[in-house]
Amino acid sequence: MTEDNIEQATLDLLASTGWDIVSGPTIGPDGTMERDYTDVVLNRRFDIALARLNPELSPEQRAEVAGRVARTSSPDLVVNNHDFHLLLTDGVNIEYRHSDGSIRTTQAWLFDFDNPANNDFVAVNQLTVIQGDINRRPDIVLYVNGLPLAVIELKNAVDSKANLQAAFNQIQTYKKQISSLFRFNELCIISDGLDARVGTITAPFERFMAWKTVDGEQLDGIVPELEVMVQGMLTPERLLDVVRSFVVFERDGKDDAKFVKKVAAYHQYWAVNKAVQRTIDAAKPDGDHKAGVVWHTQGSGKSLSMMFYTGKLISNPAMGNPTVLVVTDRNDLDGQLYGTFAACKDVLRQDPVQAENRAHLRELLDRESGGVIFTTIQKFFPEDGGDTFPTLSERTNIVVMADEAHRSQYGLKARIRESDGSMVYGNAKYMRDALPQASYIGFTGTPIEFEDKSTPAVFGEYIDIYDIKRAEVDGATVQIYYESRLVDLGMDETTKQWLDKEVDDLLEGEDMNRQDKLKAEYAQKEAIVGNGERLRLIATDIVEHFENRLTALEGKGMVVTMSRHIAADLYNKIIEIRPEWHSEDDDKGTIKVIMTGSASDEAHLQQHIRGKQRIQTVEKRIKDPQSDLKLVIVCDMWLTGFDVPSMHTMYLDKPLKGHNLMQAIARVNRVYPGKEGGLVVDYLGVAGALRDALETYTQSGGQGAPTLDINEAIAEMKRRFEIVRDLFHGFDYMRYFTVDTRGKLQTILDAQEHILSLENGEKRLKQHVTELSKAFALAMPTVDALAIREQVAFFQAIKARLDKIAGSTTGGPTDGDYKMALKQIVDKAIAPVGVVDVFAAAGLEKPNLSVLSDEFLAEVRGMERKNLAVEALQKLLKDEIRVRFGRNAIKSDDFSTMLEAALVSYRNGTIEAAQVIEELIDIALKMKVSLENNETEGLEEDEIAFYDALLANGSAKEIMKDDQLRELARILVERVRANTGVDWTIRAAAQARLRVEVKKLLNKYGYPPDEQALATDNVLKQAELFADDWSKKK
């Protein structure tokens, strides 16, 4: 199987779903001349589409539209891509003069989103794109109406070096070298024919996701992912839907002028489309106004799903300019969710608005034009203490969208107020009073509790479930591990049980009088948990534990406390241990406390009380992986909807249960490079609450545990450790830790030789050490992890050395690829090994003589470490080919092919190290002979290269005399040099003229006619390698 086979299979799949297939060369300068190599837009197709979709436009107006589409406003690729996306989804405004003389504006559409069949869908393979002096050829480009919307990069499924990471890296190279193609890009797809991932031009490798289902119902686990993606995402109709409603540019929190481009994952796409249809049905005259509940586990993009839903709903004609009222139950959550929507407002096609108070809310709801309004549910509580809330609007196209819809304050149930015996209802009842004709939909990251009857009564049944298990399997989230590090409170069992009652749960939905009583009870609990000696023990443990965690993996941590007072006290205990972590400047310091308050709060809280702007400053720092802010202490804020992907550790010292617990621990389940999982360290004892949460989860139909015990991570680390250690069976690597520096270096060289002598040893070691490193980072700093720290570092050193010897060109996984960021604290003798060059590793003195000299090759033949000799010599030969033959296309290809063939046999185990050394030496001698022959030919370097291009056809040497070939080579150099300029490689017309000139010369000198086409291609290929130098000398 070859990459060409996979490409053809992909084209067949695309054809079966409605794409026309066109070969890139057939529409280039040597084909129909539909495009120049510098053109990335198929201009003729684009103009035809514009005319078809906008028949009222004149040719001049169509040209103006095309100019607007082609125009760039910034040197930044992503900014230009954002500009294009808006033109694509919103149309292009064109001014024209009406018959009455007035200037009017019309909208020109690039696509017909409502009628997919009215568009032109073409998949082009092997499309040559030239930008500057760079020539690249992506595997497949998907064009819609002549615009390149998607790039597909393919690798070979049976080639271990050609993996998805290599395909991703290729896309990144294209973005840099042929950025003009990506100005119009909406999707990047990478695949090896089986596995397939999709992402955007700003997505890191970890955020390229699979598309798991064709129809949104059945998971297609046994069908190749590429087939599922083509049939489930890339059909013409669905691609248009994705581009129109499920691509968003999120403004970067650090710089509003920068964007992060995101595309919906498959679970978001299908859930949103189902939710929109359910809402339309619920809002009909005979509907029940209950759209349902979307349960997508925390960290899987619930906020983005809510935004995609809102954007698609408000643009649906069936809803008639609806108002979407986004409801949360806390001011900080309202602000967080509003911030997400505001950062992605393009998909809403309007600015969202926050209701400042009840009067402002009423004013916003009165608007018939619709909109997106944010409010807290408390604004619906009757001001006069009555049992009803006045009607705000009776419109039927109002949709109430509740975040975390399962909470008790959304309930309908009534209870008796203790203070005066009056009846008090859940806030959902008051919302119904205010908006009697509205439809309701809920989004939640945790399941509805089994005994909760209010949530289904308000919102309806589940629309879609995306649980922990699916999120972890898909890579949407990482697993959370749990470690108990309880601090003894010194109290009896009855007091412990009393403390275990969750205060947050007690306070939910209560009136102020009732809350005052509960706060008194809370204060008693706070006094026990906030005991000074206990906090000192916890502070000491956090500092030691977190610093050890950072030696294994860079990232952020969060400490969750029971109250603001405890948060402030714990902060003081920590900075007593690490005073350098403290700073009063919001832009500096390693640790911060996040809380709100007022001027009347106690003095020791005042330094931590921040207004909105200052909190945003700290928020940007904790979200920035590069900032020196590593740890935040919170009590209520940032426990829901707060997204910091690099956060990997949570220290929990607050009694939580149910959905509050599930939401809090999800702060550490976000995907981040090198992050195998998140860790929750429990100081108060929430294990029972986690078991209860799992029971609720299972009853609701979810799969997967909220957390795994840290012992499971330790067990996995030990398993992977044993796999790596088994690779060293028969080799005493432990001597490394007892010998002097010279002995350590010798041990490393011997260890490399041992690994290289094993079947697939290098590949196995790299794979298993990478896996061990991830598991080790997760288990740090447990006793078991600390016990093997030095051995893990030794294995890392061997892997690093093998990477260096191979020049990291093998294509296999490396620590750099996975961004592991390991920082083991080990014997310093390992560090210098990282800079030992390839000759020392192989036991060679760095040669003063040529690598191709007889003396050096004899030294290689006599080496004891044969496997290291192979790795060293192949690297040196690659360098020699690049340096000595880099501008000779034929010789470079010939020697590279010979070298790769020898190495393939060696790596497949079909020949031994000693045999491949002889083959490599033979290649070196052939290179040496070639260079010596060049010196006797009487030709210059460029002339020799063209001479070799002519000799690539064996029959030419037999038919023509050698002096004829040399003379032809000289003439070719003169003619080609005269026909090349600074832009020659990108000017199709100039290349076409040169092709004619070369053919004439070949005929004149009697070059074999049957081989002239190949010789012409070789000459032009060779010309590209010298063009730059020649043009600079003119």
- Read off φ and ψ for residue 695, nearest 5 degrees: -65, -45
One domain, residues 807 and 903:
no
CA dist 860 and 852 (Å) reads: 11
**539 and 688, same domain (yes or no):** yes
> Do 626 and 563 share a structural domain?
yes
Tell whether 46 and 82 lie within a shared domain: yes
Shared-domain flag, residues 497 and 593:
yes
Instruction: Kindly provide the b/e burial profile for residues 595-605, where b requires at least 16 CB atoms within 10 angstroms of the residue's own CB.
Output: bbeeeebeeeb
Q: φ, ψ for residue 85 (rounded to 5)?
A: -60, -40
Q: Is the domain of 890 the same as that of 744?
A: no
| Residue 168: per-residue pLDDT | 94
| CA dist., res. 776 & res. 322, Å (int) | 52
Domain range enclosing 559: 487-706
Sheet holding 196-199, edge to edge: 20-23, 121-125, 140-144, 147-154, 187-191, 196-199
Same domain, 357 and 425: yes
- Looking at the domain assignment, is residue 844 inside a domain? no
Q: Which amino acid is at 381?
A: F
Helix (H) / strand (E) containing 129: strand 129-131
CA atoms within 13 A on the CB side of 935: 5
540 & 645 share domain? yes
Neighbours of 346 (CB within 10 A): 19
Q: How far apart are CA 807 and CA 800, in angstroms?
A: 10
- Residue 731 has phi, psi (to 5 degrees) of -120, 125
On whether residue 686 sits in a domain, the answer given is yes
DSSP string, 625-660: TTSS--EEEESSTTSSS---TTEEEEEEES---HHH
Contact 260, 202 (CB under 8 A): yes
Q: Measuring CA to CA, which residue among 489, 782, 467 is closest to residue 655? A: 489
Q: What is the pLDDT of residue 39?
A: 92
Amino acid, single-letter form, for residue 500:
D
Integer Rg of the chain from CA:
34
**Number of C-beta neighbours around residue 1007 at 10 A:** 24
Name the domain count of the chain: 6
User: What phi, psi does 161 have (nearest 5°)?
Assistant: -85, -25
Domain boundary among 805, 836, 867: 836
Contacts for 11 with CB less than 8 Å, ≥ 6 apart: 21, 123, 125, 140
DSSP 667: G
Burial (CB count within 10 angstroms: exposed 0-12, middle 13-18, buried 19+), residue 126: middle
Query: How do strand 187-191 and strand 196-199 relate by DSSP bridges?
Result: antiparallel
Residue 478 falls within a domain, yes or no?
no
Calculate the alpha carbon distances from 65 to 45, 51, 93, 789 in Å: 14, 11, 8, 62
Residue numbers in the chain where pLDDT is lower than 50: 408-409, 412, 414-424, 450-451, 496, 499-500, 502-514, 808-851, 982-986
For residue 374, tell me if it sits in a domain.
Answer: yes
Q: At which of 881, 911, 936 does a domain end?
A: 936
Determine the pLDDT at residue 665. Answer: 84
Q: How far apart are CA 432 and CA 460, in angstroms?
A: 14
For residue 845, being part of any structural domain is answered with no
DSSP 188-214: EEEESSSSEEEE-TT--GGG-B----S
Per-residue b or e along 26-58, where b marks 16 or more CB atoms closer than 10 Å to that residue's CB:
ebbbeeeebbbbbbbbbeebbbebbeebbeebe
Within 8 A by CB and 6+ apart from 651, the residues are: 538, 542, 545, 546, 557, 558, 559, 560, 681, 683
- Which distant-in-sequence residues (6+ apart) come within 8 Å of 145 by Cβ? 45, 46, 49, 50, 53, 110, 111, 119, 120
Side-chain-side CA neighbours of residue 692 (13 Å)? 12
What are the b/e assignments for 977-990, b being 16+ CB within 10 Å?
Answer: bebbeeebbbbbee
Q: What Å distances lie between residue 907 and 216, 446, 519, 750, CA to CA?
A: 43, 50, 70, 20
Is the domain of 351 the same as that of 320? Answer: yes
Distance CA 218, CA 887 (A): 54
Report how far residue 690's alpha carbon sits from residue 167's, in angstroms, rounded to the nearest whole number: 41
Which residue has tokens 């698609």? 312
Angle between helices 3-16 and 225-232 (to 10 degrees): 30
Does 841 reside within a domain?
Answer: no
> Which residues, including other chains, have CB under 8 Å from residue 14's CB and lie 6 or more apart?
21, 123, 140, 142, 230, 234
CA-CA distance, 465 to 271, in Å (whole number)? 8
Cβ atoms of residues 673 and 813 within 8 Å: no
* Same domain (yes/no): 542, 689: yes
Residue 479 placed within a domain: no
* Residue 713 C-beta-side C-alpha neighbours within 13 Å: 28
Quick one: 325 and 407 in the same domain? yes
The end-to-end CA distance of the chain, in Å, is 47
| Cα–Cα dist 179/132, whole Å | 11
pLDDT for the residue 849: 35
In this structure, is residue 472 part of a structural domain? no
Domain boundary residue, one of 657, 674, 706:
706
CATH number at residue 123: 3.90.1570.50
Residues 138 and 77 in one domain: yes
